[in-house]
Amino acid sequence: MKKLLIFIVALLSAFGAQAQWKGKEFVLDPDPLVQQKLKDWSDLKLGFFVHWGAYSVDGMCESWPIVSEDVDWLTPHKNLKEFRKYYFDLPKKFNPVKFNPEQWADLAEDMGAKYFVFTTKHHDGFTMWDSQLTDYKITNPAYPCSKLPKADVTKYLFDAMRKKGMMIGAYISKPDWHHPYYWSPSFESAGRNVNYKVERHPDWWGKFTDFWLGQIDELMSNYGKVDILWLDGAWANKDNQGQDMRMDEVANICRSKQPGIMIVDRWVGGKYENYRTPEQWIPSESQDKIYWESNMTVNCCFSYRFEDSPETNVKSGRELIHKFVDVVAKGGNLLLNLGASPQGWFNPEEVKSVKNMGQWLHKNGQAIYATRAIAPYAESNIRYTRSKDGQKVYAIALLAENEHPSKVMLPGCLASKNAKLFDVATGKRLSFSRQGNATLVNVPRKKGTDNYAIAIEINGIEKMAGKSYGKSQHAKDAENRNL
């Protein structure tokens, strides 16, 4: 019953996210540095996302339990005022003594991730860096976490991930439910939004947004090269109760300190949503004309859950690979989330799944990294990608557990008579036959994580999706907006 409820919640969230996806026009940023950064980012394909904060102490949902909204996926506590006090005091118990940023970076590398996004501050306002603008932070001397050798976790994580050659993303929430000029103590909170009328109290709103801009400046000035500013809390925007987050000023700070940085004002649309971020779902059709990234969880939720939690529902390495390949075939990236524990590590089953995923990627990554989408994208259990120069096409057969085919049919993909086909994982040449507008490939038997999917390299295509695929078509595909 619990898993059914989780599924229903995920379904409802997906429907809401899809409405956001379809309702806004994608605007490509005119800044050439941003455009180049987007192209580079789209080569990376897999990102490592981590939600971590004091909420991990109790293994609870991040931030949302303190909201006074009776929504489908969250029911407020009966005594919300008392619970909020308890929640905001969680940093007094937060002491991640096992935190090791180099170990996190090793895990990111093992799973095959090429960029990293960290929740520097969620909606609850607890700041995971040494901000000079608030005491509600991980380095506050009143909290035990401040005594850690590497208490400024944002700094040390960013440094460790950069040493692995990763792009760096700073997630930060636009609303801040701990700040007295977002949720003013003069009024009860009415929900996720600011709890007063901005037009009546412009001085309050000005103080809050000054604080907001100051924290953005800290992240952009003091934490090395940052490639992505990943903003959450879409309801905080000037069209909703006048919550003007001064995005032009945000962009000026970011671009002056971090030229070319991608700004992701998610679900708001316009010039500061440099790429789209569907949450916990994958588009049913290809979206290869825009930049986008599905952000998904390995477990049921974004924040940490204890191993014996009834909510625990860890995706297997096979399931992760299948979702990832589907995303890439449709033109997107995958930002894969793990919730960190109160000690500073991760659920062992989740670690096992992402490492198994990485084992497959380390052998078959040629069919994934730095590729682009190509029609027919997805047919039955087959997903297609192509090299950026259009010279190679990759077909990836997604295999069920205990499925060991000796032949794989590639519908919509007709290899030329003199084509050369290879098993990507081993480099061994594969024999094939042509069947109408499809190709039948003889494939080797796979074992272990190799059996998640079979990636096939095709050098020489006659038709894709019924379309002739000569040299001119190779060139056209390579020029496909260079996405």
Final residue before a domain boundary, out of 322, 340, 367: 367
CATH number for the domain harbouring residue 465: 2.60.40.1180
In contact, 307 and 343? CB cutoff 8 Å: no
Final residue before a domain boundary, out of 333, 367, 401: 367
| 260 plus 388 within the same structural domain | no
pTM of the model: 0.94
| 336 plus 435 within the same structural domain | no
Q: What is the mean pLDDT of the chain?
A: 93
Work out the average pLDDT over 318-333. Answer: 98
The torsion defined by the Cα of 348, 352, 358 and 360, in degrees rounded to 10, comes to: -170
pLDDT tens per residue across span 258-304: 999 999 999 999 999 999 999 999 999 999 889 999 999 999 999 99
Work out the average pLDDT over 418-429. Answer: 98
Final residue before a domain boundary, out of 317, 332, 367: 367
What does the H/E/C string look like for 363-415? HHHHHCCCEEEEEEEEECCEEEEEECCCCCEEEEEECCCCCCCCEEEECCEEE
| 377 plus 354 within the same structural domain | no
For residue 408, the enclosing domain spans 371-478
| 407 plus 339 within the same structural domain | no
| 385 plus 331 within the same structural domain | no
| 407 plus 357 within the same structural domain | no
For the chain, the domain total comes to 2
Does a structural domain hold residue 52?
yes
Question: Is 217's pLDDT higher than 50?
Answer: yes
| 58 plus 160 within the same structural domain | yes
| 312 plus 426 within the same structural domain | no
Does a structural domain hold residue 44?
yes
Picking from 21-25, 447-451, 455-459, which range would have the lowest pLDDT averaged per residue?
A: 21-25
480 pLDDT tier (thresholds 50, 70, 90): low
CATH number for the domain harbouring residue 146: 3.20.20.80
Does a structural domain hold residue 483?
no
Does a structural domain hold residue 296?
yes
Q: What pLDDT sits at residue 309?
A: 84
| 360 plus 455 within the same structural domain | no
| 190 plus 280 within the same structural domain | yes
